Amino acid sequence: MRKQMVLFGTVLLLLVAGCSSVDPTTSEEYQALGSQLAAAQQQLADVIVERDALADEALTAAARHDKVLANQEAVAEIIANPDSFGTEEEVLDLLLTYAAPGAVVDDVAFGPVDMRSS
């Protein structure tokens, strides 16, 4: 009887030790899930980068729009009452501050002409 109990205890100990010695991280299923998780994390990182870039574009566009509106209002104010902004030369200089650097006027007779001389 004692022999049977020792034998039973040994078998039970071997079964418990055998079950707990398996490393679950080496299974194919675990490896596949790890690969899927890594791919999902990379996709998430890519989406976050794209979202941030779109947000930056939107902010840049909004700032550019606000600047254009302010410039349009300033030019309209100058054109509406040029006498309040000084002499003709001073008004022209002021208006040219709102022109793009190197801007030209396409004259029918002379072709592209510098903004100042047109």
Q: Looking at the domain assignment, is residue 10 inside a domain? A: no
Q: Looking at the domain assignment, is residue 64 inside a domain? A: yes
Q: Looking at the domain assignment, is residue 6 inside a domain? A: no
Nearest partner of 107 among 96, 118, 99, 98, judged by Cα: 118
Q: Looking at the domain assignment, is residue 49 inside a domain? A: yes
Domain carrying residue 92: 27-114
Q: Looking at the domain assignment, is residue 43 inside a domain? A: yes
Domain count, the chain: 1
List C-alpha distances in Å: 22 to 11, 27, 31, 33, 112. 17, 9, 15, 18, 82
CA–CA distance, 56 with 42 (Å, rounded to integer): 21
Q: Looking at the domain assignment, is residue 91 inside a domain? A: yes
Residue that wins the pLDDT comparison between 115 and 71: 71
On whether the pTM is more than 0.85, the answer is no
Q: Looking at the domain assignment, is residue 97 inside a domain? A: yes
Phi and psi at residue 10, to the nearest 5°: -65, -45
pLDDT per position as a tens digit, 26-66? 788 889 999 999 999 999 999 999 999 999 999 999 999 99
Out of 16-20, 42-46, 98-102, the most confident range is 42-46
